[in-house]
Structure 1
Amino acid sequence: MTYEHLQVEKRGRVAWLYLNRPDKLNAMSTHTMNELRDALAAMRADKETRVIVFSGKGRAFCSGADLESKPDPDAPPSDEPTFLDAAQGMENELNGMTKPVIAALNGLTCGGGLELTMMCDLVIAAEGVKIGDAHSNVGMLPGGGSSVRLPRIVGINRARYIMYSGDFFSAAEMKEFGLVNKVVPAEALEEEVQALAEKLAAKSPLGLKRMKQLINDSYDQPTATALRAEKMVVKDHLHSFDAYEGGAAFAQKRKPEFKGY
């Protein structure tokens, strides 16, 4: 399937999803988010795709919302889908994705681009990338989760400073804050991310799916509740093919061939 604002490339069991509006610094319009929703749904359904990578074309990862698409406060009431409706549809797909998602930050990342980054599981950034919230610079509020996710990732005081100031921070600073997992030379970004994605793609799809589920579900739960839930999932997982295959491969000193069930 072809898209107007996206470019999708399959590299083995890894799907690369590029925001492709370089002249707009990959700002997300209503149309962009509708395409993202559809592309993510297709990747979720594709059994051959085990890992998804987000990146951007040009000198930005994503500069946030396309301000030309923002809601008009003077527009009359309507039941037509809005910019925020499109954003919610895209977020539902991404937040519900059971496969690992890696953000490969190739350039400027701010506003909605930062929010998109925080919806991913892992973040690899090129040296020289600048990252910020930026909503305060244009008198806007975050609508894609910054006020919720950022304090949990970097701590409430850092989140306040990042959001209130509208300043931009280096990839190295954001690694220190806990937002970025790894910083790599710009020319090596895609090679490094592809290698990581292939490593994850070789793991048990069912195992990674359930790990992601356990981490996400337990984050705000009391420790005792989360531990009980973990035991229940593990008990079920022990009856899976992938758990059996992992044990058999270890005993036979061979690479496991996981099937995802």
Structure 2
Amino acid sequence: MEERSVVTEVRGGAMWITLNRPEAMNAISPEVVDGVGRALDEALARDDARVVVLTGAGRAFCAGADLKFVRGETGGGQSGAGQFLASLLELLNRLERFPRPVIAAVNGLALAGGLELVLCCDLVLAARSARFGDAHANYGLLPGGGGSVRLPRKIGAARAKYLMFTGEFVPAAAMEAAGLVNEVVDDGALTQAVDALVAKIAAKSPLGVSRMKALVNDGLEQPVEVALRQELLMTALHEHSDDLREGLAAFQEKRAPRFTGH
């Protein structure tokens, strides 16, 4: 793996995964795909990483997939480019389904594949100066990381088509109004705001949060009647969890619960 193309740090109940190619505006390379995948493996193995935070080094969150790999200029030709895009899509799918909450801390430009990364996160906090855009149309490209599927589901078809057809970059406040961004904060306050959100989530039952995430993700793709049945089944399963017993005991004893994720 290319040295430090992805940097990780665990603090305050979260693993921070930082895309670390600032000279390339954190464009996604095969090394970045591999590095984020390894970081997710590590987060899953650690009890002190109850939340994952994804961000970028420098002035960009992520400017998208590195076009030299999209064009197949890696010695592998178009088959190499296809393999790269397939591995990127696999990572994005995994990120969306990751069993722990994933927060995007958008510190700058989030374009094309960078926007697709954001779309796979559960919660999005953005610096006021951040900009979002699909950008594929600017280079004659098509979304290859699920953008045409996830973007309209997040912000509606009309807004998604506008971003896709025009290639425009829009401010964080506009994406907050559209429903993609949960909160816009001053540029210097992004890390502090994310830390505060992590603290709120990390104090809750890891098992409960994980199961709620699965219920929401699965329920969005199913008829209401089916989703409600799944919720009832999950609730019945959850009744046997240590975290539920601990939560009820803490309520009875008027103390803060000590959740273990079991």
TM-score by length of 2: 0.94
Alpha-carbon contact 2:127-2:184 (below 8 Å) kept: yes
Partner of 2:158: 157
Change (3 A) 1:6 1:77: closer
The C-alpha deviation readout for 1:131-182, integer Å capped at 9, x for no partner, is 1100000111111111001111111111111111100111000000001000
Partner of 2:239: 238
Alpha-carbon contact 1:104-1:189 (below 8 Å) kept: yes
Partner letter of residue 248 of structure 1? A
Alpha-carbon contact 1:37-1:89 (below 8 Å) kept: no
Partner letter of residue 14 of structure 1? A
1:171-186 mapped onto 2 (5 Å cutoff): 171-186=172-187
Change (3 A) 1:3 1:40: farther
Change (3 A) 1:128 1:77: closer
| In the alignment, structure 1 residue 45 sits paired with structure 2 residue 55 | no
1:66-105 mapped onto 2 (5 Å cutoff): 66-72=66-72, 82-105=83-106
Partner of 1:169: 170
Alpha-carbon contact 1:71-1:82 (below 8 Å) kept: no
Partner letter of residue 196 of structure 1? L
Partner of 1:122: 123
Partner of 1:24: 24
Change (3 A) 1:79 1:137: closer
Change (3 A) 1:163 1:248: same
Equivalent-residue separation in structure 2 for 1:11 and 1:210 (angstroms): 23
State the identity as a percent: 48
SS of equivalent residue, structure 1 residue 104 = strand
Equivalent-residue separation in structure 1 for 2:209 and 2:140 (angstroms): 40
Equivalent-residue separation in structure 2 for 1:71 and 1:2 (angstroms): 20
Partner letter of residue 57 of structure 1? A
| Superposed CA RMSD | 2.0
Partner of 1:134: 135
Cα deviation for residue 80 of structure 1 reads: 9.7
SS of equivalent residue, structure 2 residue 200 = helix
Equivalent-residue separation in structure 1 for 2:94 and 2:42 (angstroms): 10
Alpha-carbon contact 2:12-2:195 (below 8 Å) kept: no
Equivalent-residue separation in structure 1 for 2:178 and 2:16 (angstroms): 26
Equivalent-residue separation in structure 2 for 1:260 and 1:98 (angstroms): 12
- The structure with the greater share of residues assigned to helix is 2
Change (3 A) 1:76 1:176: closer
SS of equivalent residue, structure 1 residue 259 = coil
SS of equivalent residue, structure 1 residue 82 = helix
Count of aligned positions = 261
Unaligned runs of 5+ in 1: none
Partner of 2:111: 110
Equivalent-residue separation in structure 2 for 1:92 and 1:109 (angstroms): 18
Alpha-carbon contact 1:61-1:108 (below 8 Å) kept: yes
Cα deviation for residue 16 of structure 1 reads: 0.7
